[in-house]
């Protein structure tokens, strides 16, 4: 009998988050103030984030204690199961052993509440009762409204318009948890009104929605902002995934040769990979692979440069791989991957060759997602299908070469609210997007100049 589900008892939930900044030989260059272009300090971030999260952004402590109130909420769904995908292995006739960490079992259906709960908690602790945010596919917006509701915090979500239209039930979920939601670009903000005046049919982008959420924050005293990915503290909160996975793999005598995750801003990938990357930094031989969409290939086609995190240039300048903050990615269904930039920590690790990065086209990802759903049962989110496509490539390579590798990937979310995307795929209405070179070249020309 193959043991397919590897559980971890609830008293084994990690008590600390892991901070890879303590182990990286070279840290990313610091964020810069958008006006002065000098490194920012805590006071610059205080208008938008609570102080505890600002401290976590820059801490060099290797482990940061998780407060009991957060653990108490994590226990609603954590530890998440580690699953051996033996039916997928059989379908591929591969000698590889494939494991996935199933983050789709959280109430909103993805890894996102691991940080949403932490961010809501630290805001509440410092007396902030109103939080604004953006969301791509709606997973982050629903995770934050779920978390804010538990702490009695008002939650305002700007959801990228194309996703708002593609995934109407994510909106319902946000409202079930008492969140307020606007399709972005919206009439609510100066930024949104300006975009709509120029292009009434704008599909929106994460960069635009971040600008709207930041404007909402700055123009409403007492409101703070929350980001669902990219920043160091967000990636750190996600490391409960990899810390649990390590224990679970150990309990069945396994250690991964290959680790795979999809990347939009980098958080689910980092959450699984960073605790293992620590071992790689210390000499262990692991292939850690991040997968991005071919339509928005920040690392494989972008520049490693300072850029804004949003369209309007309201965020600090981050040193990262970017396609240019003005780039509006094509309307792929993986809304959570439609982002021009990448987490500075993930970018630095790609630059330092600690991780490898591939870009995959939409049709291959949906084909892979369907094979997964038809063998393992769970329907993956379109973002997650990117990781699965690479797992399948790797498993096929193992078959060709007769190598028995252990592959571990992050099943970042389910696709129960993304079924219209599967409808489109099954009806042959989806296509690949050619790399939008001209649009990216135009956006790159607007990268801020740093002396």
Which residues bind to ligand PLP, rule: CB under 6 A?
Answer: 110, 136-137, 139-140, 229, 262-269, 336-337, 381, 383-384, 412-413
Minimum CB separation from ligand PLP for residue 283, in Å?
27
Residues contacting residue 246 through CB under 8 Å, at least 6 positions apart: 275, 276
Q: How far apart are CA 145 and CA 143, in angstroms?
A: 6
Minimum CB separation from ligand PLP for residue 411, in Å?
9
Q: Which is nearer to ligand PLP, 99 or 140 (CB)?
A: 140
Q: How far apart are CA 306 and CA 121, in angstroms?
A: 31
Minimum CB separation from ligand PLP for residue 252, in Å?
25
Minimum CB separation from ligand PLP for residue 223, in Å?
22
- Please provide the DSSP assignment of 30-59 as one string: PPB-TTT-SBP-HHHHTTTS-HHHHHHHH-
Q: Which is nearer to ligand PLP, 306 or 409 (CB)?
A: 409
Residues contacting residue 328 through CB under 8 Å, at least 6 positions apart: 202, 203, 205, 207, 208, 439
Q: What is the three-class DSSP state of 75? A: coil
Give per-residue burial for 384-417: e unless 16+ CB within 10 Å, then b: bbbbbbbbbbbbeebeeeeeebbbbbbbbbbbeb
Minimum CB separation from ligand PLP for residue 429, in Å?
22
Minimum CB separation from ligand PLP for residue 260, in Å?
12
Minimum CB separation from ligand PLP for residue 186, in Å?
19
Q: Which is nearer to ligand PLP, 44 or 390 (CB)?
A: 390
Q: Which is nearer to ligand PLP, 84 or 170 (CB)?
A: 170
Longest C-alpha distance within the chain, in Å? Answer: 63
Residues contacting residue 189 through CB under 8 Å, at least 6 positions apart: 211, 212, 215, 216, 219
Q: Which is nearer to ligand PLP, 167 or 405 (CB)?
A: 167
Minimum CB separation from ligand PLP for residue 334, in Å?
8
Give per-residue burial for 59-82: e unless 16+ CB within 10 Å, then b: beeebbebeeebbebbeeebbbbb
**Among 351, 334, 361, CA closest to 422:** 334
Pairing of β 63-65 and β 82-84: unpaired
Q: Which is nearer to ligand PLP, 78 or 405 (CB)?
A: 78
Q: Do 45 and 233 contact (CB within 8 A), yes or no?
A: no
Q: Which is nearer to ligand PLP, 103 or 215 (CB)?
A: 103
Minimum CB separation from ligand PLP for residue 412, in Å?
3
Which tokens in the block code for residue 50?
């609570």
Q: Which is nearer to ligand PLP, 372 or 405 (CB)?
A: 372
- The separation between CA 117 and the C-alpha centre of its own chain, rounded to angstroms, equals 15
Which tokens in the block code for residue 335?
């809304």
Residue nearest to ligand PLP (CB): 336
Q: Which is nearer to ligand PLP, 14 or 136 (CB)?
A: 136
**Among 273, 276, 270, 277, CA closest to 237:** 270
Minimum CB separation from ligand PLP for residue 343, in Å?
8
């Amino acid at each position: 009998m193959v043991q397919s589900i590897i559980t971890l008892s609830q008293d084994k939930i990690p008590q600390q988050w892991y901070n890879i900044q303590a182990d990286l030989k070279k840290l990313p260059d610091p964020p810069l103030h958008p006006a002065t272009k000098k490194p920012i300090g805590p006071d610059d971030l205080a208008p938008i984030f609570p102080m505890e999260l600002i401290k976590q952004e820059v801490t060099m402590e290797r482990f940061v204690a998780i407060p009991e109130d957060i653990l108490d909420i994590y226990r609603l769904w954590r530890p998440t199961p580690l699953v051996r995908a033996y039916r997928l292995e059989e379908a591929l006739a591969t000698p590889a052993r494939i494991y996935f960490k199933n983050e789709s079992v959280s109430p909103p259906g993805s890894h996102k509440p691991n940080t949403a709960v932490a961010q809501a908690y630290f805001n509440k602790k410092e007396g902030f009762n109103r939080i604004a945010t953006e969301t791509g596919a709606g997973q982050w917006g629903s995770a934050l409204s779920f978390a804010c509701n538990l702490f009695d915090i008002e939650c305002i979500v700007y959801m990228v318009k194309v996703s708002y239209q593609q995934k109407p039930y994510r909106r319902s979920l946000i409202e079930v948890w008492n969140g307020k939601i606007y399709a972005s670009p919206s009439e609510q903000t100066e930024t949104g009104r300006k975009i709509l005046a120029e292009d009434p049919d704008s599909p929106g982008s994460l960069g635009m929605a971040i600008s709207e959420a930041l404007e909402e924050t700055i123009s409403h005293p007492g409101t703070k902002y929350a980001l669902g990915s990219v920043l160091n503290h967000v990636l750190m909160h996600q490391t409960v995934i990899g810390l649990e996975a390590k224990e679970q793999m150990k309990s069945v005598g396994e250690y991964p040769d290959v680790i795979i995750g999809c990347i939009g801003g980098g958080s689910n990938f980092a959450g699984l990979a960073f605790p293992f990357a620590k071992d790689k930094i210390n000499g262990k031989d692991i292939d850690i692979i991040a997968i991005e969409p071919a339509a928005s290939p920040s690392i494989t086609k972008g520049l490693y440069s300072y850029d804004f995190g949003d369209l309007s240039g309201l965020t600090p300048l981050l040193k990262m791989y970017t396609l240019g903050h003005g780039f509006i990615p094509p309307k792929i269904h993986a809304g959570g991957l439609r982002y021009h930039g990448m987490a500075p920590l993930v970018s630095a690790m790609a630059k330092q060759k600690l991780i490898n990065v591939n870009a995959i086209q939409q049709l291959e990802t949906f084909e892979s997602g369907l094979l997964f759903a038809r063998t393992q049962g769970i329907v993956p989110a379109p973002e997650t299908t990117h990781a699965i496509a690479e797992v399948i490539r790797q498993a096929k390579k193992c078959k060709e070469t007769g190598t028995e590798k252990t592959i571990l990937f992050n099943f970042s979310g389910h696709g129960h609210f993304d079924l219209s995307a599967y409808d489109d795929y099954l009806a042959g209405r989806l296509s690949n997007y050619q790399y939008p070179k001209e649009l990216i070249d135009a956006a790159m020309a607007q990268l801020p100049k740093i002396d």
